[in-house]
Structure 1
Amino acid sequence: MKDSKHRDDHWLVRPKTIRLLWLAFSVVLTLTVLAQLVISIKGYVGVDSWFGFGAAFGFLSCVAMVLFAKLLGKVLKRREDYYREGADDV
């Protein structure tokens, strides 16, 4: 009866589905990187022809975007009552 509490949840938030999606995406990523062994990549700069460069570049770009978004969130953050301060004056 462990899964009975998750039975009413949307199928994308169930733990079993999340594990299955992680496995499927990992397999697809691995196959995509391994395809570079069969398909020759012609690099334009030199570095971009290295094995697994696309996957590494994509991952590092994603990490950079997340860190930038976190920094931007800290810079643009306002107090919780920011919009209520002037409401009494009107």
Structure 2
Amino acid sequence: MSDKHHSDDGWFDKPENVKKMLKVFYVVCALLVLVDFIVHRHIYHDWESIPAFYAIYGFIGCVVLVLIATEMRKFLMRGEDYYDE
């Protein structure tokens, strides 16, 4: 085994790699929305026939979760010196 120190930055620490990953992410998201127009869905409710319904539903769900977590933080968070007491 070598005594080589791991001082190298991680793959995600390089801005150019993050930009590449974001581009890939945006392309995948766009492709998934486009596939939504092609694939036949067996819908049970009328609102499921809205184009990109599941993408919109997922986005709204994530936003609501973040807002709820932000409010919960106010009464669940412990003080900075909680374990030092």
d(CA) in 2 for partners of 1:45, 1:29: 24
> What's the TM-score once normalised by structure 1's chain length?
0.76
Larger of the two Rg values belongs to structure: 1
Q: State the identity %.
A: 37
Structure 1 Cα separation of the partners of residues 83 and 36 of structure 2: 53
Question: Equivalent residue for 2:26?
Answer: 26
CA contact (8 A) 1:42 1:49 kept: no
Q: Is the 8 A contact 1:12 1:18 kept in 2?
A: yes
Confirm or deny that 1:80 pairs with 2:80. yes
Separation in 1, partners of 2:84, 2:37: 60
- Tell me: CA distance 1:83–1:11, structure 2 relative to 1, closer, same or farther (3 Å): closer
* Alignment-derived partner of residue 41 in structure 1: 41
Query: Secondary structure of the residue that 1:12 maps to in structure 2?
Result: helix
- Residue 38 of structure 1 and its aligned partner are, at CA, apart by 1.5
**Paired amino acid for 1:58:** G
How many residues align? The count is 78
Q: String of CA shifts for 1:36-88, please: whole Å, max 9, x gaps.
A: 22212232111112110110111111111111111111111232233444xxx
Structure 2 length-normalised TM? 0.80
User: Letter of the aligned partner of 1:31 in structure 2?
Assistant: L
Higher relative contact order (CA 8 A, sep 6+): 2
